[in-house]
Amino acid sequence: MPNTASAPLETPRLGEPYLLTPGPLTTAYEVKEAMLRDWGSWDADFRAMTAELRRELLDIAGDTAGDFDCVPMQGSGSFSVEAMLGSFVPKDGKVLVLSNGAYGKRIAQTLSYLGRDHVVIDKGDYMPPRGAEVAAALDADPDISHVVVVHCETSSGILNPLKEISETVYSRGRKLLVDSMSAFGAVPAGVNDFRYEAIVSSANKCIEGVPGFGFVIARKSELEAARGRSHSLSLDIHAQWDYMNKTGQWRFTPPTHVVAAFLEALRIHREEGGVAARGARYARNRDVMVAGMREAGFETLLADQWLSPIIVTFFSPAHPAFAFDRFYDLMKDKGFIIYPGKLTVVDSFRVGCIGRMDEHVMRRVVDAARSSLAEMGVDSAAPPAIALEERSRLAA
């Protein structure tokens, strides 16, 4: 791999552990510092901040034609996903959900709560949905109006083939809605990268802000069509959009400090070089960390072609002395908080590549993993045979 090493980023000034998770994540000190001031939610200064936030996100999305608008929504990313589904899928519509992990399942569960008719292509824990099977499902069921997919399924770390899926959806005259929670800002997801009607993400992912709101980037025609469609007062995207455009304000109490932090995060994102540079840093984080962990004996769930630059799933060692809870505590003691696995067939854990960290940090992560195994008395990180069998299924 090419050597693109740069000067190390500043370590967390408050001494907190690095969050090797797909959001919340480690943020720059300047982002934290931006939350020290209070803002009036109705004040002109804060309204200007909201307008700036919306403009900058549309710039990141590459909306040069003015066909889209950005609507921030209070709450976690799942709030914005539910708002998208409830606002853009007509009550008599039917959704094809492409599921290959926990967040695809959550979309299907949300649609059940909303009373929206839906069918699911369930690829299990980590197999990618492909264009041919999407085409077959759409051809078989003319009632399907929308397809919904997770861009980066962080339960496995897979980056789904969105361009292939989008081309299939629109070739069949259907509409695509995208949950790009953990990809937007670091993986190409602009309006010209692949076609969609709406895409959602949140403040505490690849833009490297803090939790508190999500945002929806949608075609203005879809926003207009969503009038009166939502099941929810607070999750009505059309109502939020219309009110913001008329008053510059959020309909309900906004997360003022989070917005201030996000604007600082956007500044850092822009100065780093935008989506391409942010994605390159994350990819370098992944490559350095994966190479080191493999050298230490760990095995990744996914082959290289499916590894996202967001988070990587590793099989847990088969060694009888290995226990994830103990491994987690030892890693935390060394300054790194990792993520438990979400696979159903075999035990696993995950290591995030996003946030305010670089390859220098990832080398320390590998060193910490090696020494933690040694402290546990684990002399081999090799996974059980069934784990490799699962991986061979994916490769096929």
CB 68 within 8 A of CB 58: yes
Query: Would you call 380 helix, strand, or coil by DSSP?
Result: coil
- Which residues touch 90 (CB under 8 Å, ≥6 apart)? 145, 229
Contact partners, residue 251, CB within 8 Å, separation at least 6: 234, 239, 240, 243, 244
How many whole angstroms separate alpha carbon 157 and alpha carbon 154?
Answer: 4
Query: DSSP class of residue 173?
Result: T
Q: List the structure tokens of 120.
A: 């699911």
User: If you count them, how many residues does the chain have?
Assistant: 396
Q: Are 297 and 366 in contact (CB under 8 A)?
A: no
Residues 104, 107: Cα–Cα separation, whole Å: 5
Strand partners of residue 179: 150, 200
DSSP state of 299: -
Pull the structure tokens for residue 246. 């008329």
DSSP H stretches of helix in the chain: 29-33, 44-61, 77-88, 102-114, 131-140, 162-171, 220-225, 237-247, 256-272, 274-295, 324-333, 359-376, 385-395
User: Is residue 106 marked as binding?
Assistant: no
Residues annotated within the binding site are: 350
Binding-site residue set for substrate = 350
